Amino acid sequence: MPLRLHVGYEMNKELIIQMAREAGLYTKCEVHSAVPFDQLLERFAALVAAAEREARAKVLDEMADDMVREMEPSTAIEWVRNRAAFIRARGETK
């Protein structure tokens, strides 16, 4: 069963495999890597975390868009947009 992060976004097997390949992990030892396996796992974990952050931020973006359509501009809409930006920024390195 896929991991459902929010409506319309699923962390499914294909996406996880794609991220594993992007991180340098290959199934059935297709390639020998000069990078230690622990580092590959860390890259993979970072990709999964980034995908989750983006999914959560998109939920807030959609919420803010709905709020804009349904109500007058307010600090609540700005707060929701700021929360989405904050979630995305958590993955940025300093």
Tens-of-pLDDT digits for all 94 residues of the chain?
344 455 455 566 677 777 777 887 765 555 566 777 777 778 888 888 888 888 889 989 988 888 888 877 778 888 888 999 998 898 776 5
In this structure, how many other beta carbons lie within 10 angstroms of the beta carbon of residue 35? 12
Number of structural domains, the chain? 1
Residue 94 lies in a domain: no
How would you class 21 by CB atoms within 10 Å of its CB: exposed for 0-12, middle for 13-18, buried for 19 or more? middle
pTM (2 decimals)?
Answer: 0.63
Q: Give 4's strand partners.
A: 10
Task: Please give the residue range of the domain that contains residue 49.
Answer: 3-89
Residue 19 lies in a domain: yes
Strand segments (E) across the chain: 3-6, 9-11
Residue 42 lies in a domain: yes
